[in-house]
Amino acid sequence: MYARRMGCPYITVAKRVLDDYHVPYREILIDVDEAARQRVLRWTGFLSVPTLVVTESGSDLPYADPAPLRTGDSPRGIHRGTMITEPSADQLTAWLTEHGFIHET
């Protein structure tokens, strides 16, 4: 999960969902890591956090290219395959389920 140190309601929601479902994640802080900041800017057109990506183990990059956004469009809540940015709890839960991180019982 690409995030930043300064609080944000979307980061709080993402952490709560990930923790509630015991989904392991790693935070990459865009206000500490310049390369990460540039990646998020390139991927979203903004410094939008949280930006969550599905990666191969040990990687910081999506395992497949995310669906593109039109220039200037908000990435908020848009399911882009291997990436979702600023999702609501319901959007994140659905995305995590689709990717096999959450299993319905």
Domain residue limits, the chain: 2-98
Secondary element (H or E) of residue 36: helix 34-44
Section 47-66 average pLDDT: 96
Handedness of CA 47, 51, 54, 58 (dihedral sign): positive
Percent of the chain's residues with pLDDT above 70: 99
Q: Which 8-state DSSP code applies to residue 65?
A: P
d(CA 101, CA 20): 12
Position 18 confidence tier, pLDDT thresholds 50, 70, 90: very high
Section 22-40 average pLDDT: 97
Section 41-55 average pLDDT: 97
